[in-house]
Amino acid sequence: MNNQFEVIKGNFMPDEAREILLSIINKKIDFHNIKNLSSEIRLSKPDQFSQERIRSLRKISDQIKELIKQAKDADCELAIESTIQLALVPKSEMEKA
């Protein structure tokens, strides 16, 4: 069974690339913001992993913005390839409890 999915493949104008890539990054940031808020409400403490992931995603966003600026300045398109791989992973013993 092939659990690999080609999600994005092609050349895009800088504005198109910006819209596609930043919407993905922003959705992931939103996901981790909600996860962190939920942890703060339920456990009265932040979700450390989500907080670190948000910082990392913001850095990635900045890097993408810089590459898009470079593409615009050079009057170039951006080639984007994105594949998602899925695998079944048993739950850890801690999560089962």
Q: What is the pLDDT along the chain (97 residues), one digit of tens a residue?
A: 679 999 999 999 999 999 999 999 999 999 999 999 999 999 999 999 999 999 999 999 999 999 999 999 999 999 999 999 999 989 886 565 4
Cβ–Cβ < 8 Å for 7, 84: yes
- CA dihedral (2, 4, 5, 8) positive or negative: negative
Provide the pLDDT for residue 94.
53
Q: What pLDDT was estimated at residue 2?
A: 76
pLDDT at res. 97? 45
**Structural domain boundaries in the chain:** 4-96
- Tokens 């998602």 label which residue? 84
Cβ contact 32:53 at 8 Å: yes
List the structure tokens of 10. 């092609």
Q: Yes or no: say if 77 and 13 are a contact pair by the CB < 8 Å rule.
A: yes
